[in-house]
Chains A and B, each alone.
Chain A
Amino acid sequence: MDEALNTIEKPVPEAKSENIVELDWEQLRANTESKVNEEAASVISEGEHILETIPDVTETEKEEFFEIKKEIIGLQEETKNQLEQSFDTSKKTPENFTNAARVLLDSLKAREKSAEEGYVFSYEPIIEKTSQGKEINVDSLSWISDDGFATDNKRRLVLIATNPVDGKVVGLRLSDIRSDGLVKDEEKGYINKEKITGEILTRLRGEGIAPALDNAFVKIITQVANYYKQEFSGEFQFDWSVENANLKRLNQKKEEGLSGPELEELEIEQKRWQAVYGEEGKFGFKKNDEYNYVRTIEPQLEEGKSYDLQKVDMEKYKKIEAALGECLETSSQ
């Protein structure tokens, strides 16, 4: 018994840490829960092992020992509940997503008459798979202005990604296509440049929704380019432009002297962004200037196929409004 007691070094109450920022959040939560279970089980089994080596333990003494064991199990359960609750909180709809859904819903409500008159267009829905193997259904709406005339040379294009199982909105891409002047090309002559900017917002983080939504976005912009190629004379070039806001923020924070986990987190975020939207990243962007990257989306016309703009079906329009309304209801709960 003495030996058993002496081999166990009396622990000093001290918090253990590891490099948490390199782990994905859900992975970290799962790892932490396993660690909690393992460590609690180890303390209990260690105690039971020592107790077995002590002779003539009475029932009362055993009960006293079990009281401590109960406390350990209680702590383990309480910790697991805390982890579960933190999981629920983190699954909450992000505020920027809800705000975007609200703004879009208001905009669609105000545009209903215009949609009925045929000034809001839509493309065929696209099914995309996320990196986690889940399907998303991507609907689109596009309009120029209420009266059908391009008063400010801006075309609004919104993509609404929903979960095909429950119809809930999981992602939004809000984009503008603007005329960006003429450039002279030796082969093609003058080219009308169209610049595409915008933002993407997702309901859940870490589900791979944004890249899947952007895959659909590329397909729809290709259809826009096809339409221009089919309908208008002259050359058009559609440039999808993205700004590396992460790098901007990272450089700013470095200048401010930020260091430690916060800086590491920004650097990891930056690497993730680069892998998707940066040079030689997944989406094939090229660096334009310090913080801007551009990808030209070429038309891909199929012979005999029409790329006319399709007026949105009002049933679909209302369905999108209802789905956006659900985002607001959920967030206010």
Chain B
Amino acid sequence: MDRLADNKKIQNIYDSFAFKLNILKNKQLDFLKNLFAAKQKNGLEELRKDIKQ
């Protein structure tokens, strides 16, 4: 059963990696979405300013 125990250990390491990577992927995605939204907002404000001028 040693082999199974070793395999399980590797599987646990991978599962933990996959879990944390998904969290970081979400974090990256949230950051990019917020950044894009901010840029879009800035762009609209710039546009409004231009129109006013």
| Beta-carbon contact of B3 and A54 below 8 Å | no
A231 near B: Cβ within 8 Å?
no
* Known contacts A20-B11, A35-B14, A61-B35: A12-B22 contact under CB 8 Å: yes
Residue interface mask B21-52, A partner, CB < 8 A = 1: 11111111101110110010011000000000
| Beta-carbon contact of A20 and B39 below 8 Å | no
A29 near B: Cβ within 8 Å?
yes
B6-25: which residues lie under 8 A (CB-CB) from chain A?
6-11, 13-25
Residue of A nearest to B25 (CB): A43
| Beta-carbon contact of B7 and A54 below 8 Å | no
| Beta-carbon contact of A205 and B2 below 8 Å | yes
| Beta-carbon contact of B32 and A54 below 8 Å | yes
What total count of A-B pairs have CB within 8 Å? Answer: 120
Residue of B nearest to A262 (CB): B4
Residue of A nearest to B23 (CB): A13
Our pick among A1, A8, A25, A28 for the contact of B29 (Cβ within 8 Å) is A8
SS class, residues of chain B in contact with chain A: helix
Query: Within the complex, what minimum Cβ distance (angstroms) separates B50 from chain A?
Result: 15
> For B11, what are the chain A residues with a Cβ–Cβ distance below 8 Å?
17, 20
> For A51, what are the chain B residues with a Cβ–Cβ distance below 8 Å?
32, 35
Our pick among A5, A11, A39, A269 for the contact of B36 (Cβ within 8 Å) is A5
A75 near B: Cβ within 8 Å?
yes
**Interface residue tally for chain B (C-beta within 8 Å):** 35
| Beta-carbon contact of A54 and B35 below 8 Å | yes
| Beta-carbon contact of B36 and A54 below 8 Å | yes
Interchain CA distance A39-B19 in the complex, whole Å: 12
* Known contacts A5-B32, A86-B13: A75-B20 contact under CB 8 Å: yes
| Beta-carbon contact of B24 and A82 below 8 Å | no
Interchain CA distance A15-B15 in the complex, whole Å: 5
A21 near B: Cβ within 8 Å?
yes
Contact surface of A with B, Cβ cutoff 8 Å: 1-2, 5, 8, 10-17, 20-21, 23, 25, 28-29, 32, 35-36, 39-40, 43, 46-47, 50-51, 54-57, 61, 64-65, 68-69, 71-72, 75-76, 79, 82-83, 86, 90, 94, 205, 261-262, 265-266, 269
Contact surface of B with A, Cβ cutoff 8 Å: 1-4, 6-11, 13-29, 31-33, 35-36, 39, 42-43
List of 6 A-B pairs having minimum Cβ-Cβ separation, nearest first: A15-B15, A13-B22, A79-B17, A265-B4, A47-B28, A11-B22
